[in-house]
Amino acid sequence: MDATARLIELLGVDRVRTEPIDRMVYAKDSGVTAGEPAIVVLPETTAEVAAVVRIAAAFDMPIVARGAGTGLAGGAVACPGALLVVLTRMNQIVMVDEVGRTALVGPGLINLDLSHALVGRNLHFAPDPSSQQASTIGGNAATNAGGPHCLAEGSTVAHVLGVEVVSADGEILMLGGAAPDPPGYDLRGLMVGSEGTLGIVTQLLVRLTENPPQTVTMLIAFDDINDAARTGSDIIGAGLVPAALEMMDHEMIVAIENFVSAGLPVEADAVLLAEVVGHADGVAEEAGVIRSIAVRNRATDVRVASDEDERALLWKGRKSAFGAIAQAAPDYYLNDTVVPRTRFVDVLGEIYAIADRYGIRLMNVFHAGDGNLHPLVSYDASQPGMTDIVVEAAHEMVCVAVAAGGTLSGEHGIGLEKRDLMDQVFTDVDLDAQARISQAFDPARRMNPGKVLPDGARCFDRPSS
């Protein structure tokens, strides 16, 4: 009996996909790289995932786990001959503990669906990537995703208390838990952000956050993008950590406004979207400090959302950015890199210069509070060689950020996209240490192979000189 027959015997014919058209549907994530899997399976329980992994091991098949496919770094792209394990049917909310402020959920649960399910309980799930209407919590954990409101609350790893994992040999493990200070190594923290290279997450115990008593959302306009960037840096430098601090440049403002009519000032060169939360007196004081810093940096307008509807519309505009750019061209490449806030203005200028030199159309929308840049290139992939040009320009932008003291990724992960840039920020010893961890979890190297770590990450794997 071959692997397909074994999988059909386990899951039934409806949840095992082998036809070319079915496999093509899962050939890529939201990045630019494709790779057709050999077999696609859709398990619904942890026990089924464990059995699937054991079958793959018996036939020495590489395994790639996948959620909604909203990732942008090629992390869920199948390598040749891979078994693709799609987790979207594992989307249950198993338990909500309002007293302990936790929820146990399946990896296929859509991020925003969890907060919607908590309406009326005065709780929400804090990590809010722009893709939260589609991305899954398992995928968020795989890349340690962020989002606008992770500036003060922290990225996904700060909100995952425990994970149930199927290991490379099909064993079911529970890493972490609800205890506030569990003894031993933080294997839960190691699993979050590992991009499926250490095992398959089948349940997550997540932290829930109490809704703030008051929220003030501010839209700040500038005639010069450098003034906006400087304001973002100065706000953090003043000791404030707003709930969110987002920035959009002129091209992005126009695209968003044409798309959703969010009330953005299309004449502005850039805008900041700042949000402060807490009790009334503290919120008013923080908003006043932000206003003063913005005015000092030549802001042309500082507007406070008058009610919840206006606040929601402003955030709808910000989170519709990646859909809005479809007006400009059929394809886009979204980069993800981080720079120190003190180098924000300089690096931003260099990124625009790179775009001009390559003759590509650049739009910027990013997390100004923590220096997480998202230069977005709008282009037509049907033009011969255009994707190669865009990727080359994007890699140059990453190198500029790294040279300024930054790093490769703030929230999208490494995947295939930045795997071969890992030596820009890690030494040979660093890479070897990471590869040793991977080997400890997955000695046969079957879990999402070819992702995150470049070839030869283990010192003994490298060709002798």
Q: How far is CA 411 from CA 51, 73, 175, 254, 347, in A?
A: 31, 10, 22, 26, 19
Q: Which of 58, 63, 72, 59 is nearest to 28 (CA)?
A: 72
- From 416, 411, 458, select the one nearest 438 (Cα to Cα): 458
Q: What is the structure's pLDDT at 394?
A: 94
Where on the phi/psi map is residue 303: left (φ > 0), alpha (ψ -120 to 50), or beta?
beta
- What distance in Å separates the CA atoms of residue 101 and residue 104, rounded to the nearest whole number? 11
What domains does the chain contain, in order, with CATH numbers? 3-86 (3.30.43.10), 93-210 (3.30.465.10), 214-323 (3.30.70.2190), 328-434 (3.30.70.2740)
The phi and psi torsions of 209 (rounded to 5 degrees) equal -115, 135
pLDDT at residue number 328: 85
**Residue 362: strand pairing partners:** 377
| Cα–Cα dist 381/371, whole Å | 29
Torsions phi, psi of 192, nearest 5?
-70, 125
Distance CA 9, CA 378 (A): 45
Eight-class DSSP state of 157: G
Distance CA 40, CA 242 (A): 43
pLDDT digits (tens, 9 = 90+) for 408-462: 999 999 999 999 999 999 999 999 999 999 999 999 999 999 999 998 877 655 5
Residue type, 144: N
d(C-alpha 407, C-alpha 404), whole Å: 9
Confidence of residue 465 (pLDDT cuts 50, 70, 90): very low
- pLDDT tens for each residue of 321-345: 988 988 889 999 998 999 998 898 8
The backbone region for 452, taken as left when phi is positive above 0, alpha when psi lies in -120 to 50, beta otherwise, is left
CB contact at 8 A, 183 and 459: no
Neighbours of 333 (CB within 10 A): 21
Calculate mean pLDDT across residues 95-109: 97
Between strands 372-373 and 337-338, the pairing is antiparallel
Over residues 401-405, mean pLDDT = 96
Task: Check pLDDT > 60 for residue 37.
Answer: yes
Q: What's the pLDDT score for residue 355?
A: 97
pLDDT of the residue at 174: 96
Rounded Cα distance, 363 and 352, in Å: 9
Report helix, strand or coil for 34: strand
- Written as one string, the DSSP assignment of 100-146 is TTEEEE-TTSBHHHHHHHTTTTTEE-----TTTTT-BHHHHHHHT--
In this predicted model, what pLDDT tens digit does every residue of 17-31 receive, in sequence order?
999 999 999 999 999
Tokens of 112: 């925003």
Residues in the chain, overall count: 465
Residue 41 has φ and ψ, to the nearest 5°, of -125, 150
**Banded pLDDT at 463 (limits 50, 70, 90):** very low
> Residue 460 burial (CB < 10 Å; 0-12/13-18/19+)?
exposed
Position 461 scores a pLDDT of 58
Query: What does the radius of gyration of the chain's CA atoms come to, in whole angstroms?
Result: 22
Strands 83-86 and 39-41: parallel
CA dist 266 and 253 (Å) reads 6
Question: Is the pLDDT confidence value at 365 over 50?
Answer: yes
More confident residue, 347 or 458: 347
pLDDT at residue number 459: 63
Residue 307 has pLDDT above 90, yes or no: yes
Task: Judge whether 13 and 397 are in contact, CB under 8 Å.
Answer: no
pTM of the entire predicted model? 0.94
Helix residue ranges, H only, 270-416: 280-296, 308-319, 321-324, 344-358, 386-403
Q: Which is nearest to 95 in space by CA: 214, 210, 211, 178?
A: 178
**Predicted confidence (pLDDT) at residue 464 exceeds the cutoff of 50:** no
* Burial status of residue 277 (CB atoms within 10 A of its CB: 0-12, 13-18, 19 or more): buried
As a whole number of angstroms, the distance between CA 17 and CA 26 comes to 10
The CA distances from residue 392 to 152, 258, 371, 399, 434, in Å, are 33, 30, 22, 11, 26
Measure Cα distances from 163 to 155, 192, 370 in Å: 16, 9, 27
From 54, 73, 76, 52, select the one nearest 65 (Cα to Cα): 76
> Which residues, 6 or more positions from 131, have their beta carbon under 8 angstroms from its beta carbon?
30, 68, 70, 111, 322
In this structure, what token pair is assigned to residue 329? 């061209």
For 254-285, how does the pLDDT look when each residue is reduced to its tens digit (9 = 90+)?
A: 999 999 999 999 999 999 999 999 999 999 99
